[in-house]
A and B are shown apart, each in its own frame.
Chain A
């Protein structure tokens, strides 16, 4: 109904100027909450709504001598760039939103970027899309902040993961098996040079999206007798890759920087070693970190369902923590609409919530993460890596 009212209002209004709503800060979000690629938007949309509810229930937040509540406008892009561009237009022009979380999907980001660029300096877009990395720090793109860490670079988690792998397993040759699409190619561009730089031999095979049977590529890779398999990035493929690797006797040691622990657990009696990057291993963090325990309890109470442990790690992007970080930046800047000052504060602070988050000078996120190592039989060891 609110939407219908909005349409009517838009119909009679002339040039849309955002009405200065009293003591309300509007926060927008464009993510794929439903549809085929919903995995990436699901947790961010849930976490953000939870955070907004928490803030408003406590009476809002104070900046200067005014108390503000938050109005959340979360649009479901369904992964469709056309939908996203219409929704973003509505947010920026009709609603006058200055802070937009999302998108995580790169094809959505690339479509809305030319339009968003026109509002440079007037709003902030804080999303986790891989392609944001290419634009961040370039002229006329001050509005961009990337809420996910980057694999490469000295602080990159990929770099740290590889060092750890070398130290703990002494690997000499690694086989890379990635999806033949944008995500896979980005991984090749990051990791091939990384391994070469550290003196590790590599072998690469790409598979088509939609592949279910990997025996051909696995056989080709195994022929080169590498120590470890480094397979592609989404669980949908990882379950099949891990099972078929062990069944066919091709590989029993795995190294992952995307995807979850799930495929390893399902095949725990067949694997020798499973080395995976997890933004946070929630099952353990729940027991050791009171903030995480509270988050999980709040989630269960608010949504009245089980906590999605397998998707929770994605809350490291544009999720719960980021709203509180934004509010803290507003307080430091003593303003809720001075975008430039707020951005400056965001880039110069470190926030300690579920994660310890800060941004580098370009606006790309750096946060601490977990490395989970599982051996045959399911025995786990979790190491937390702090990134300074």
Chain B
């Protein structure tokens, strides 16, 4: 049963208490949420969206600002962030998908909107403090039966909180992809024109996929902001989008959990191997090229197909 795969993650903190390693896990969990959700629109629906980092970053800012300006809890602050993300996704998605544009132009337009969002946040100094960024001092609170209201602060709290969020994300994606909605996504990915003639409203499903992916990315961004305690406009940069794309390509875009492996590799490996920025960039570029040309199914996908073949 797939659920058993989560057990090792749940018991890790019993064996490992080093804050250093736990923080790598936490970052990996949070970024894995972004990667898994990106795979919804990219791997499963076949559309390359460059807007993912923008959803990530905008939500980070909205959640943090709402929490600090209006003095509300993390959960309440999440609502406007998700609301705004859904609204923007619907607008941009409607614009793109309505006009029957080719896949490349979708990538270009989402890139354009992502950059525009970044420029707005970069220059709206009164609210976002521009390049200086903002410090996020609030912490989320969780109600646990038996223990009452607990503040998520410190390694163990964040570990289980982010793991829970990741499990939630995977569950949602699973639910959607196993349903008829998921089958429509697959049809669109495989042959959009054919799907259209079969009567599938491709516009509606692409829009749904795009919006859902961005919403989950919004959750990831909000968590990231509260965990690191600092937000800056680089959250919305193209590099952040590329990092997420790499995680998905590396881990494998044909499975729901593949991107999680990619997230762990991209977050943890630089700390195992000491690499200069230049060497890392060369490795990163090389990995990207290799996964496109040689290992199109990513690591998990290739391992899985070997297992099936064996």
Chain A interfacial positions (CB closer than 8 Å to B): 3-4, 7, 10-11, 13-16, 32-35, 38, 76, 78-79, 81-83, 85-86, 89-90, 93-94, 107, 110-111, 114, 181-182, 185, 209
Contacts and interface: CB of A to CB of B under 8 A. Distances in A.
Interface string B204-235: 00000000000000000000000011101000
B17 interface: yes
10 contacts: A7-B21, A14-B17, A16-B17, A33-B277, A35-B277, A76-B274, A79-B277, A82-B228, A86-B24, A107-B232
A181 B130 CA distance: 8
B278 A89 contact: no
A111 B19 contact: no
Given A3-B273, A78-B277, A111 B230 contact: yes
B227 to A, nearest CB: 10
Interface in B111-169: 130-133, 135, 137
Given A16-B19, A94-B20, A107-B232, 12 more contacts: A3-B272, A7-B272, A11-B18, A34-B277, A76-B276, A85-B23, A86-B20, A86-B24, A93-B18, A94-B18, A107-B133, A111-B230
A13 B15 CA distance: 9
Contacts of B21: 7, 10-11
A5 to B, nearest CB: 11
Nearest to A91: B20
Chain A to chain B: the 9 pairs with minimum beta-carbon distance, closest first: A34-B277, A35-B277, A10-B18, A34-B276, A78-B277, A90-B20, A181-B131, A111-B230, A182-B132
A111 B134 CA distance: 10
A11 B15 contact: yes
A110 B276 contact: no
B71 interface: no
A49 to B, nearest CB: 14
Chain B interface mostly = helix
Contacts of A94: 18, 20
Given A3-B273, A4-B272, A89 B229 contact: no
A258 to B, nearest CB: 17
B18 A86 contact: no
B280 interface: yes
B16 A11 contact: yes
A114 B228 CA distance: 10
Nearest to A92: B19
Given A3-B272, A111-B230, A13 B17 contact: yes
B230 A78 contact: no
B16 A10 contact: yes
B228 A89 contact: no
A358 B276 CA distance: 33
B20 A114 contact: no
B34 to A, nearest CB: 14
Given A7-B272, A38-B277, A182-B132, A16 B18 contact: yes
A83 B135 CA distance: 17
Contacts of A83: 270
Contact of B277 (A7, A11, A76, A181): A76
A78 B24 CA distance: 17
Contacts of A15: 17
Contacts of B278: 34
Given A3-B272, A78-B280, A85 B18 contact: no
A113 B21 CA distance: 20
Nearest to B31: A82
Nearest to A110: B230
A34 B228 CA distance: 22
